[in-house]
Amino acid sequence: MIIFKMISKTIGFINQSIAAIGISAGVAVAFTNVVARYVFDASLVWASELSVYLFLWSVFFGAAYCFKKDAHIAVTIVLDAMPSRLAKAMLLLSHIITIVFLIAVAYYGYEYLLLVIDLDERSIDMWDMPMWIPYLVIPISFAFAAYRVAERIHAILSTPHDKILKESEAEHVLAEMGIGARRNQENENVKELNEMVKEVEKKTGGML
């Protein structure tokens, strides 16, 4: 549906923007503080705390974005060894557990946020800034991540069991090089290379 596509694009834009701006601004603030400290002997008292918050926002929203690309580290050696139907069920179960965890953290993060607002916690070094502002990253980023996992669950349910297991990153690279193309499948060297990749994948637990 159009509305879900719009939501997906909006969440993706927010995740990418905050992740990029957060890491860039965090590095800039940290660098400025180092220069001020060692060149001008005048450390910025707010710089360390601000850079930590910027990095946290970047990491949490970047992690939420990784759910969209399915870029989180996963050990798939068990799934690869299972029949496709069972592998699909296991993959679905793992995503259900993941979304339950993400929703729980988002919910309790929101509850803690309300507590911080009630207590009126403020940062001493950050110009008396209300602490609910940096803590806002928890419920928002985990809610975005949960939405992405929900998309993954829908994709898993919609995908036939025999196509549920994706190629590894190494196999994607080979495919981009044309090594996995049909015209090369009969080539003995290509077969040997593909077998070698699969063997390494097994030995490394799918982390190649």
pLDDT at 181: 42
- Global confidence as pTM: 0.72
In whole angstroms, give the CA distance from residue 169 to residue 175: 10
pLDDT at 85: 80
pLDDT at 55: 92
DSSP notation for 158-195: HS-GGG-SPPPHHHHHHHHTTTTSGGGTT-HHHHHHHH
- Read off the amino acid at residue 117: I
Tokens coding 69: 């690309």
pLDDT at 47: 85
Regions of the chain with pLDDT less than 70: 76, 79-80, 161-162, 164-208
Please tell me what DSSP assigns to residue 198: H
pLDDT at 202: 54
In whole angstroms, give the CA distance from residue 135 to residue 138: 6
Residues in CB range of 159: below 8 A, 6 or more apart: 88
CB neighbourhood size of 106 (10 A): 20
* Alpha carbon of residue 124 to chain centroid: 32
- Residue 50's SS3 state is helix
Element counts in the chain: helices (H) and strands (E): 8, 0
pLDDT at 168: 46
